Amino acid sequence: MTRDHHPEELLTVPEVMTRLKVGRTKVYDLIRTRRLHSIKVDGCRRIPDDAVRVFIRHQMGDAAG
């Protein structure tokens, strides 16, 4: 592994709620509508931190246009 490679951090729904300042229902709605990518790990929903950054960038782009 090189120094430039950082493993993807997987966030829990409560962690994403905190980062986006939204409620649990909103996070699951974003996942359900595929606006926020996620995976399941043995039945537990996890969201890659990069998916949160992509979502935020996309939202900022929509607001600017």
Per-residue model confidence (pLDDT) at position 8: 81
Q: Is 38 exposed, middle or buried (0-12, 13-18, 19+ CB in 10 A)?
A: buried
**CB neighbour list of residue 26: distance below 8 Å, 6 or more residues apart:** 17, 20
Per-residue model confidence (pLDDT) at position 54: 96
Residue numbers of the chain with a pLDDT score lower than 70: 1-7, 65
Q: Within its chain, how far is the Cα of 23 from the centroid? A: 13
With the CA atoms of 13, 34, 5 and 45 taken in that order, what torsion angle do they form, in degrees rounded to the nearest 10? 30
Helix (H) or strand (E) holding 48: strand 44-48
Per-residue model confidence (pLDDT) at position 63: 75
